[in-house]
Amino acid sequence: MAIDMELEEVLRAPEVPQAKYPPKVITLANSKKMVVREVQREDVPVLLKAVRPTINVERDYYDIVGVRLYAELLGWYRYRVRNEYCLIGQVDGYLVGIVNGRMLNEKIGISLHTLAIDRGLRVGSHLFASKMEHHIEYLGQEEVRIVAESPIGFRRWMIEYGLELLPDVQHELGGATAYRLTKQIYYDTKPRLVVGKRPVPKTLLDEAMQEIKIADEKTITEKIAGVKGR
């Protein structure tokens, strides 16, 4: 694709420098080790291959979450989204979940989406908690604005964290009622919900960093649609 760089400089969303998220390892319910780490813009094409199958699965609103996440990641890849980041979870090098968000400004963060590919192990919950950790502890923000697009999301985020209602705030994802996680709520819930250890053992981190492995499309669809047992 030919790019007019002079015009591209006008079209690209401006960005501010962001603190990096330090990798950590979480022991899942099946005793597997999940490495949680930040990915870079150049990793997006691989992530898109994993997200694409989810847009055809209606169960638990994976279709709407998948298509929106796909657009956000592609927007980041094409420099059309401001101040976005993405964290992933990997088990044995394989991608098992993705979360993303962005900085609205220095003090306010925007939670975008949470997608678990391997279900039944609280992968999504752990990655969401890691996302909140990133906003509050590493990006140094005062609050994170959040909406839910599924009953599972509402239970996991709004209820489990006891988030504050923001009735007069329109979240950029649309018309759903917005909530927020404040620093106080984060630190009150951190002992219960935010887990993981640092540093990640070198063998685990090397495996994760070497390659983002993704399952084939049929396997991804079966995992999230519940066709096969977990």
pLDDT level of residue 213 (50, 70, 90 thresholds) = very high
Cβ-Cβ contacts under 8 Å for 158 (sequence gap 6 or more): 146, 148, 179
Residue type, 32: K
Query: Residue 172: what pLDDT?
Result: 93
Q: Which whole-number Å values give the CA distances from 16 to 8, 26, 102, in the listed order?
A: 18, 30, 11
What is the share, in percent, of the chain residues with pLDDT greater than 70?
97
Query: Residue 226: what pLDDT?
Result: 72
pLDDT level of residue 204 (50, 70, 90 thresholds) = very high
Q: Bridge-partner residues for 102, per DSSP?
A: 84, 110
Does the model's pTM come out above 0.85? yes
Query: Residue 225: what pLDDT?
Result: 81
The predicted-structure confidence for 177-188, as pLDDT tens digits, reads as follows 999 999 999 999
Q: Over 80: is that where the pLDDT of 3 sits?
A: no
Query: Residue 1: what pLDDT?
Result: 65
C-alpha span between 201 and 35 (Å, rounded): 10
Cβ-Cβ contacts under 8 Å for 216 (sequence gap 6 or more): none
The predicted-structure confidence for 40-85, as pLDDT tens digits, reads as follows 999 999 999 999 999 999 999 999 999 999 999 999 999 999 999 9
The predicted-structure confidence for 19-31, as pLDDT tens digits, reads as follows 999 999 999 999 9
Residue type, 20: K
Domains located in the chain, CATH noted = 20-225 (3.40.630.30)
Give the three-state DSSP class for 88. Answer: strand
